[in-house]
A and B are shown apart, each in its own frame.
Chain A
Amino acid sequence: MKAIVTVVGQDRVGIIAAVCAKLAEFNVNVLDISQTVMQGYFTMMMATEVSACNVPLAELVQRMDELGVRMGLSIRVQREDIFQSMHRI
């Protein structure tokens, strides 16, 4: 199962490092990363593989959200299906 991780917030040193380290802690593999700065905001999207994740997905969502709160960012983890179904026929 794949999940999309979206990170939005003020740009600063160490965002990717912190997010990747946290994902590694949960045994989540990063498949692809793209990032950009939109309207002054750092915006990063990661495609990840969560099948081998060592906690239930709902918990991963919550823990990543907590990391976001600590870092002053919005970090979201959502199953990829939602985007696929909305934008692909």
Chain B
Amino acid sequence: MLDQKDILSTLDMIDNQHLDIRTITMGISLLDCADPDLSICCEKIYNKITRCAKDLVRVGQEIEAEFGIPIVNKRISVTPISLVAAACQTDSYVEIAKTLDRAAKTCGVNFIGGFSALVQKGCTESDWKLIRSIPEAMAATDMVCASVNVGSTKAGINMDAVAEMGRVVKKTAELTRDNDCLGCAKLVVFANAVEDNPFMAGAFHGVGEPECVINVGVSGPGVVYHALQSVKGQPFDVVAETVKKTAFRITRMGQLVGVEASRRLGVPFGIVDLSLAPTPAIGDSVARILEEMGLEVCGTHGTTAALALLNDAVKKGGVMASNHVGGLSGAFIPVSEDEGMIAAAERGTLVLDKLEAMTCVCSVGLDMIAVPGDTSAATISAIIADEAAIGMVNTKTTAVRIIPALGKGVGDRVEMGGLLGSAPVMPVHCESSEAFIARGGRIPAPLQSLKN
């Protein structure tokens, strides 16, 4: 029989340390839904999604009950709509976003991702239509998430798209102003986006993926934090080892649930995403893990090193626990979704520049950050460009999910509710980047040797 201690430790993780499966995400290819007639295309999209994902929520709930582990989110990702809709004779893709929203509601999932375009080297006509449809699409839907990949290590950075995305973010904020600019929380700008990410808002179903696939994202900052409390004052070797062991356990859970879900749904199992995804709940924070390592407040000197260790140890522990690892795989540092990050930002210790440094060593990027409402589109574009440059040079995924809090300034708060949490408005540099962004063109891809 199993060890009593092991059984109790698993129960303790679930009951007291917020261990859960963060998401089961079904990736669905919509490539066969293309049609020159917009309404036929929408109909095909709706039918395909509701057919493939009709049992997703039910199966998720059954697994939750049988294993006794919460599965917080059931979600869907689809082929980037700029590809699916390219043949449509229309100027706007808002109708397609509404169709995705309707399909998501029918299936009972809580987000659907893939209102996306991949434009790292340049934009097609369809990509521009999608990008320009984003603000209205975010305002007109509840569950649709949008993403645009503006750069990659192989292609460089598409600065025309970066410039446009600054304006798109601002416009999205304006159109969802009455809702605390919520639309911006559903819009991510990527560099080196991955095709099998199960996490929102950046999930989409890449063209290299199968017809339909199940990807799983685990969570467990609370479990890691708790484990580190038992090694206070000990050297970093012990810290790294403790994180690895904990990550192994968390990931095994994800692997088990993913395989079970894929078997029951009759859909191939894709990957487990080894990410530490925090929530706004007390005791489920990545910032508190860094502080447990000996930092008074997250954001002070030493934070980047602590995060580098954490991120690496999570991957090393997780990689052996799953037979397919993918997605973003790393520690997330979304400010509004992490109770410790919120506290550190409110105190003024965690600032945008430090967060940018932290994104060099972890997944994913400047995530869920509120900035003053009067921040210019050019400044937002420049923030996106900086983050994309980090991703491009370091051959990693980076992203920007930024909320210009219209009508608010530093010291105010944006409330998004639920898992999205609330974000204190953080200061940005007031000096202009206007002329830099106005140049347009492309930043060339970086050299991959002579690395120093």
Contacts and interface: CB of A to CB of B under 8 A. Distances in A.
A43 interface: yes
Contact of B256 (A43, A58, A61, A82): A82
Interface in A45-89: 45, 47, 57-58, 61-62, 76-87
Interface in B66-108: 66-69
Given A34-B1, A82-B10, A87-B10, A58 B253 contact: no
A29 interface: no
B3 to A, nearest CB: 7
A61 B68 contact: yes
B11 interface: yes
B63 to A, nearest CB: 9
B65 A83 contact: no
A79 B2 contact: no
A32 interface: yes
Interface string A20-51: 00000000000110101010000101010000
Contacts of A82: 10, 67-69, 253, 256
Contacts of A34: 1, 4
A34 B296 CA distance: 44
Nearest to A84: B2
Interface size class of B (residues with CB under 8 A): 20 to 34
B450 interface: no
Nearest to B9: A87
Contact of A6 (B3, B7, B69, B249): B7
Given A6-B11, A32-B1, A87 B66 contact: no
A87 B8 contact: no
A58 B66 CA distance: 6
Nearest to A33: B1
Contact of B4 (A36, A62, A84): A36
B346 to A, nearest CB: 36
Contacts of B252: 85-86
Contacts of B3: 87
B2 to A, nearest CB: 5
B279 to A, nearest CB: 21
Interface of B: 1-4, 6-11, 62, 65-69, 249, 252-253, 255-256
7 tightest A-B CB contacts, nearest first: A78-B68, A58-B65, A87-B6, A85-B252, A32-B1, A85-B256, A82-B67
